[in-house]
Amino acid sequence: MEQPTFAIYLRTDVNWTQLTEENFLDQRDSQSSVIPYRPQRLRPILRGIQVWNQLFRMNYFEYRQRLKDIAVLSRSHIRGIDLVIRNRHRAPNLSNMGQRSFLLPCDDDDWYAPHVVERLLSVAESCGGVICWKDAKVCFTHPRVKRGDPNSPLFVRSSGPRGVKTNSYAVSNAAYSSCPPQLRGLFLDRHDRVHKIVANNCNGATLLPIDEVLSFTYKSPASITCIRNMTSEQRLRDLVPLIRDASPSLTKEVEWARPYAEMVAELNQELVHGIRSNGSGEPVNRQLNGSAPRVPARHAELINLLIDRFKYDSYLEIGCAGNRTFSKIDVPDKVGVDPHKGGTLRTTSDAFFQENRRKFDLVFIDGLHHREQVMRDIQNAVNCLTPRGTILVHDCLPKTERHQLRKKQRGSWTGDVWKAIVDLRRQDDLDICVFDGCWGMGAIKVRRNAAPFEEDIPLNWETFLSSRDDMLRVVNWQRYWDFLSAHPAAPETTACDSQYAVEMT
């Protein structure tokens, strides 16, 4: 019987030692095996790298290379691997490998159990296309770990007909060959598409699950999904105790990963002991306006803080919904607009703005949660805002896909307000950020846009999950307060962290 061939397929094989901040955006010129991201996708990652290199003495690229070296050691211990494909652009012609041969797609920092090939061989004869298995993942930024949960940051994830994980599947040549040519790249590169491709596009292929942990994903603080959200040094500093103190308690089924986990733990200790002593805790070239007041628990409290801090005298609320917020606002001159109940005027926002001739210091928009209506409300509010005024927009951060549906939902509902914010972040004359609290409180100042969102991507739930912070410029409370306290930037003002390219008082 034909003996299967087993090959590791590296989705990328970056030589991190050759990269610098200066050539990162042009990495395709010097690297033969990288995912061809557009510069718009790479810029947020580069900003995170700059924040990293400001905080840690261990350069980001050195840290990534050392993580990769640990993964290379892991792969060298696999018994029975025939070859490793390092260049994604030169994937082999699988027909030359035999119908019962297999590719194991992975990233360059993933680990495998030494016996993974032996285990695959034991079921290869009964495999109908793709073999998948359980995957272990360490993630220090998981919400459970960040909340201080004493449990290990180790998560064991199952794979099966409903989906496979990053590096927890092997594709047979039979399945690969039956897949349409235009989908073969996705078969190897996109683990989230594998189960659908097998079900819909591979004639007779099936997924065969193995109830055993055969691979390990270490989601480091330097991973792309993590580093692209490191918009300030403080955000990265907040991870230091987790990186330093949290260590995975390996169960018996992942005992094989202990040597590599211990190497990573030693690497992380070296990393956190090399924090720069002169670090300011803030982004480069940025000065704080002073400590913010305590974080507000409700959006009415946030509104009153602004009224008190900036001595606002007039307030307009669009969408009063029975005065749940309007009645709590402490300002003598306030106008509330709602077509159904609450406020002071029973009319629609469109009709109000058409007749209005007044100016307001603070406008709070919480009306119909449809993208186009929110856009009109904001644009109309800009025209009736005082020079030092602020526009607040509620419900910019849905917590589930259901929350952001256009059809009004029972209970909490944000609609697609967030899409209007992304649209407006492309304009040059509006500066916008969103507080990561109170269901996402957008703040808009009429001044030069210090951080325009330039990437042309579809606005759907998948992109919201993957790019929320970058698309909406989501910030914590201190940075939100600084944004509100800032004077308009001079035209020539620049900063390493473009989120805060404004002069602080």
Per-residue pLDDT of 100-156, as tens digits, reads 788 899 888 899 999 999 999 888 877 778 888 988 887 766 555 544 554 556 778
Whether residue 351 has pLDDT greater than 80: yes
pLDDT confidence of residue 392: 97
pLDDT for the residue numbered 327: 92
pLDDT tops 70 at residue 492: no
Q: Round to whole Å and give the CA distance between 20 and 59.
A: 9
- For residue 480, the SS3 value is helix
Q: Which residue has the tokens 């797609």?
A: 105
pLDDT of residue 495: 30
Query: Please, where are the H alpha helices in 113-172?
Result: 116-124, 143-146
Using pLDDT thresholds of 50, 70 and 90, give the confidence band for residue 357.
very high
CB atoms within 10 A of CB 44: 21
Residue with tokens 């409903």: 162
Region class of 98: left (phi > 0), else alpha (psi between -120 and 50), else beta: left
Highest mean pLDDT among 96-110, 140-154, 241-255, 425-439: 425-439
- Segment 50-58 shows an average pLDDT of 89
* Phi, then psi, of 414 in degrees rounded to 5: -105, -15
Three-class secondary structure of residue 376 per DSSP: helix
Residue 250 has a pLDDT of: 78
Strand partners, 156: 136
- The pLDDT of residue 355 is above 90: yes
Average pLDDT over residues 343-363: 96
Q: Which pLDDT does position 248 carry in this prediction? A: 62
Q: Where are the alpha helices (DSSP H) in 277-339?
A: 299-309
CA distances, 488 to each of 387, 430, 492, 501 (Å)? 11, 11, 12, 9
Average pLDDT over residues 170-188: 83
The pLDDT of residue 431 is above 70: yes
What distance separates the 2 farthest-apart alpha carbons in the chain? Answer: 88
Contact predicate 244/268, CB 8 Å: yes
Rounded to whole angstroms, the Cα distance separating 373 from 313 reads: 27
Q: How far from the centroid of its chain's Cα atoms is residue 114's Cα? A: 32
pLDDT tens digits, one per residue of 189-211: 888 888 888 888 887 788 888 99
Given a contact cutoff of 8 angstroms between Cβ atoms, the answer to whether 287 and 138 are in contact is no
Structural domains of the chain in order of their starting residue, each with its CATH number: 6-272 (no CATH), 299-500 (3.40.50.150)
- Can you give the pLDDT at residue 13? 83
